[in-house]
Amino acid sequence: MSRVTIADVASAAGVSKTAVSFAFNNPERLGQATLERVLGVAHDLGYTPHPAARALSMRRSGTIGLLIPQSLSMVFANPFLGELIQGLGELCEEHDLTLLLVPPLDGSLEGAIRQAAVDGFISLGLVPDDRAIEVLDGLGVPTVLIDSDESPAHPVVNVDDRSGAQAAATHLLELGHRQLAIVVLPPARAEMSYTPTATRRLAGYNVAIEAAGAPTPHLVSAGISVAAGTRAFESLPSGKRRPTGVLVMSDMAAIGVINAANAAGIRVPEDLSVVGFDDLPVAPWTNPPLTTVRQPIVEKGRLAASMLIERMKGKSVASPAPLSTTLVVRASTAEVAATDLPIKRR
C-alpha cells in the first residue's frame, strides 16, 4: 500500500496542499472548522507528515547534533560519552528534542555535517578554527563547543583541566615520586597536535613537576580505551628509568595501564602509582580502586545543551567559567618504592 500524501489529504478535504501544511505546522493560520476538517480527513486516511519534509517546511527538525571527530567504535570504548549524553539527554527531554550523534561520514566530518538535519550542533573536542566549525558557521547553524579553546564566535563549556591535572601531579610528588610518565590524550583529528584539553592538562602537570624540581616526565600518547592504556604501559621505559608514577588523561586508559602493569609483575600501587582523569562510574571498582580527577561530565553535557537551546532561540550566550575538578584519592597511589624492578615483557 502506497503512502498517503499531502495531496491526497488536500483532495479529500477539498482544500489546498498549503492548508494541509498549515494544519500540521501553523494551525493558528486556519479557521477552526477548516482545521478540524483537515485533521479529521488526515486521521481517517492515516496520514502523518514525513519527518524530513516537515523539518524542511518548518526550517527546524527538533533535533540537536553531537559532533564527534572520531569513529563511534572508538568513542564508545570510553564511557565518558555515555555520561555526557546523559546530561545532554536530560535537557533534550525537557525541551522535546532528539539527539543525533554525528561522527565522520566516509571519513569526512564536513560531509557528515552537511547531511545532518539538525537545528544546532554541540562540538566535542574541536578547536574553533577547525574546518568543521567553519562549515557550521557557513551554514549558519548555532553551535556550542565542549572541551575546546575560548572563542569570540562560539560559547564553550570546559572544566578546570589545568587545576585538576596540577592536583594530580602534586599528589604523586607529595608521595615522593620523581620519575613520572604522562599518558597524553591523542589528537581529535589526524592533522591536529594536542587537543585543547590535553594542552591544559599537560600544562597543569608541568606546573607541579617544575615547582618540585622533578625530572622532565616521559610522554606517551594513547587513546581513551583500556587497550590503548595497555599499549601505553608497554612503551614506558624500564630499569632505572622506569617511572614510579603515571599520570593518565583518561580513566579507561589508566585502567589499561594498571592491567598491563599487573600482567608484567609490577604491583599497583606498591611498585607503580597510577592517577586517571574523569572519575567514571567504574573508577571506584577497579583493582585497585582508581585515584583520579573528577570532572562533572553530566553537568557539562547539561550545561552545553541548555546553552545551545538558548542559541537556537536566537539569544546571545556567553561562555561560563570552567567547571570545577576535584582530586579523588583511592588505592591506586602510594608512597614511592624501589625504582629498579624488572618488567616482564610479553
Domain boundaries, the chain: 6-58, 63-158+297-321, 161-295
What pLDDT, on the 0 to 100 scale, is given for residue 78?
85
CA distance 155 to 41: 46
What is the reported pTM? 0.81
Is the pLDDT score of 138 beyond 90?
no
Per-residue model confidence as pLDDT tens digits over 228-256: 999 999 999 988 889 999 999 999 999 99
Q: 161-295: what fold?
A: Rossmann fold (3.40.50)
More confident position, 97 or 3: 97
Distances (CA, A) of 309 to 100, 112, 220, 251, 301: 15, 21, 39, 30, 12
With a cut of 90, say whether residue 345 has pLDDT above it. no
Query: In the prediction, which pLDDT does 300 show?
Result: 98
Per residue in 38-74, pLDDT (tens digit) is: 888 988 888 766 544 444 444 567 899 999 988 888 7
Q: CATH fold of 6-58, please?
A: 434 Repressor (Amino-terminal Domain) (1.10.260)
Closest-CA residue to 23 (of 5, 3, 6): 6
What's the mean pLDDT in 258-282?
A: 97
Residue 199 CB partners (closer than 8 Å, separation 6+): none
**Bridge-partner residues for 122, per DSSP?**
66, 144
Q: Over the stretch 172-196, which tens digit does the pLDDT of each residue have? A: 999 999 999 999 998 877 656 789 9
Domains 63-158+297-321 and 161-295 belong to one CATH topology:
yes
Q: Residue 74 corresponds to which cell in the numbers above?
A: 572508538
* Mean pLDDT score, 13-17: 90
Select 63-158+297-321's CATH number: 3.50.50.60, 3.40.309.10, 3.10.440.10, 3.40.50.2300: 3.40.50.2300
Query: How high is the pLDDT of residue 340?
Result: 47
**One-letter amino acid of 106:** D
- List helix spans (H) across the chain: 6-13, 17-25, 32-45, 51-58, 72-75, 80-94, 109-115, 131-139, 161-174, 196-211, 226-234, 251-263, 297-312
Q: What percent of the chain has pLDDT over 90?
A: 65
